[in-house]
Amino acid sequence: MAIFLGGGASAAEGAPVQSILFQKYFKTLREKNNYSDSVQVNELRAYFKQMFYIDVLQDNLEDVQFPTFEEAIGLLDLAVRKRQAFKNFDLENLTPNSNRIGYIRQYLVSLMAEVLEDRTSVANGLHRYLVDNLASLGYLKDIFFISTNYDLLIDQALANRRRIQIDYGINFAEDTSSGLVLPEKADSFAIGLYKVHGSLNWSYCPACNSLSLINGQQRILNLLTDSSHSRCNKCQSVRSPVIVPPTYFKDMSNSFINIVWHKTEMSLNDISHLIFCGYSFPNADMHIKYLIKRIQTNRLARLKIIVVNNHPGKTQEKIAEEKERYTRFLGPGIYFTDSSFEEFCNQPEKFIK
């Protein structure tokens, strides 16, 4: 059986969904009032002011309708693909604004990492409850996880179990040290955790073509903002985070991301039961849709699909739209629960049985 964790699962623990990511960041920034000499803040302010007519330091943020993270970073990704630019935001050239698009994109990823770290540091333990309950019921050895989330909530929940090793589906560099993957023991077993959009504890060296596992989200922020922390231990080249933003124009060229997707597909071929948690089946996730459709159609027995994505305050209109997206693409026979991720974590046996 596979458990698929979308953004709603992390949101249940305090992580902001992408639609309110920018409001959370700039609201907190203004409350701290210590940004006057920040290049990142000034560049982001210029970007939002020119592209979306929002002054993130002056406007009333409660009344502002921010673009989604997908829209803000998607513009930049598409410009890079088309080798085009926006006024005052150029690609590589000889002007002072050279590769400003690349810097803005990096600042947006840094913004996301900072917000996720801040919000998930006060997590209420839902992922831990889920893992503990699955273990006590004897289900954990027969389950793997797929996640579209960059945060480390499920990673930490698994790492807290003494006998568990996390299998990300990829091999990390030998110089890696992390508290999230435990040393092998005679009585330990591996749990698959396939993070198909990357993770805040992965960093990539393009020179060595190696992936390192780093100690928590604070290190990824250092990697993004401080060049002294971003050097590869082997060749001293600049490492970069492995983050595939939730846009229509996903760059899936990283070889390690491709390995994760392959391992995910191979593992999904062997299951009969798939539970979506906190995932609304968004239109932009065509890669996920393609993967699930391959698994759904290239099998003899029908794949059982359960959706757990309710939460307090969710409107009937949203519920209907979500059901329509699932059934339009995957067909009838999907079981839609009216339960929340919290209810699933507290009593997973109700859904698995």
The two tokens of residue 230 are 């971003």
Residue 256 DSSP SS3: helix
For residue 175, the model assigns a pLDDT of 46
Q: Please tell me the pTM assigned to this model.
A: 0.86
In the block, tokens 């600049």 appear at 238
CA 265, chain centre distance (Å): 18
Q: What is the CATH number of domain 2-14+123-200+246-352?
A: 3.40.50.1220
- Residues pairing with 167 in the sheet: 192
pLDDT averaged per 10 residues in sequence order, the chain, 353 residues: 95 80 89 80 94 95 89 87 86 71 86 74 79 94 94 90 90 58 61 93 86 66 63 78 73 85 95 95 90 92 94 93 95 94 95 85
Instruction: Of 70, 105, 68, give the one whose Cα is nearest residue 85.
Output: 105
For residue 94, the model assigns a pLDDT of 62
Burial 286-306 (b: 16+ CB within 10 A, else e): eebbebbeebbeeeeeebebb
The two tokens of residue 217 are 């989200």
Instruction: Of 75, 53, 61, 50, give the one whose Cα is nearest residue 22.
Output: 61
As a whole number of angstroms, the distance between CA 107 and CA 113 comes to: 10
For residue 105, the model assigns a pLDDT of 86
For residue 231, the model assigns a pLDDT of 75
For residue 276, the model assigns a pLDDT of 98
As a whole number of angstroms, the distance between CA 263 and CA 257 comes to: 10
For residue 218, the model assigns a pLDDT of 45
The two tokens of residue 75 are 């513009």
Kindly report the CA angle at 345 between 257 and 142, in degrees rounded to 5?
60
Domains of the chain, residue spans: 2-14+123-200+246-352, 18-120
For residue 217, the model assigns a pLDDT of 47
As a whole number of angstroms, the distance between CA 178 and CA 155 comes to: 11
